[in-house]
Amino acid sequence: MNDEPKRYHHGDLRRALLDTALEMLSRDDGWQFTLREVARRAGVSHTAAYKHFSDKADLLAELALVGFERLREALIAARPAEPESLRVAYLEMSAAYVQFGTANPNLYRLTFSNEARISANPRLKQRADAALQVLIDLFVGGQRAGWLRERDARAQANAAWAQLHGLVLLMIDGLLDEPIAAASLAIMLEGLEA
């Protein structure tokens, strides 16, 4: 027999709620969904969510955690195994960053929306740092290989991160089109090269 009458959500309503919210972020426009709507789509009463999240901000923080993690994975996936130049590695990874943001505008916005108070949340701050670390590693490696101007790699990584973050948000907002964003990336790269 199959189990149409749902039996207490196989014990993982928490996961189900997160997945439902992530799906809403990927489909709908806007990241400002309501808790009640998430519960509704998960097929559960809206008060059930409070057994798994202390409040809406808590749910948002959990989703931001996922956002930072996926961003980090996207950067790592784009990192060439044996880069023959900073140019290649940087262009691949920055393109992956912009691609991730523009392909997941709602999740990206939510991740950085600070409804979740990123800097006050140690777990979130740590995941943000983990994503940034991928860029720092890139620049540390680039300097070691002599491809980069010798400046503080952390500052270089933050300079790049800020630009990538800004590019993604301006593109999401329709204030910057792809060709100009690509030209901006090239200008940044050129300025970093040795």
Footprint on residues 118-137 left by DNA (CB under 7 A): none
Instruction: Choose which of 15, 28, 30, 55 interacts with DNA (CB under 7 A).
Output: 55
User: What does the per-residue mask of binding to DNA show for 15-34, with x meaning CB under 7 A?
Assistant: -------------------x
| DSSP secondary structure of 32-73 | ---HHHHHHHTTS-TTGGGGT-SSHHHHHHHHHHHHHHHHHH
Residue 194: contacted member of DNA, a second copy, none (CB under 5 to 8 Å, by partner type): none
Dist CA 145 CA 63 (whole Å)? 37
Dist CA 123 CA 64 (whole Å)? 10
Dist CA 185 CA 2 (whole Å)? 53
Residue 46: contacted member of DNA, a second copy, none (CB under 5 to 8 Å, by partner type): DNA
Which of these segments, 47-55, 89-97, 157-165, 168-176, binds DNA (CB under 7 A)? 47-55
Q: How far is the CB of 39 from DNA (least distance, A)?
A: 7
Dist CA 168 CA 113 (whole Å)? 14
154 binds a second copy, rule: CB under 8 A = yes
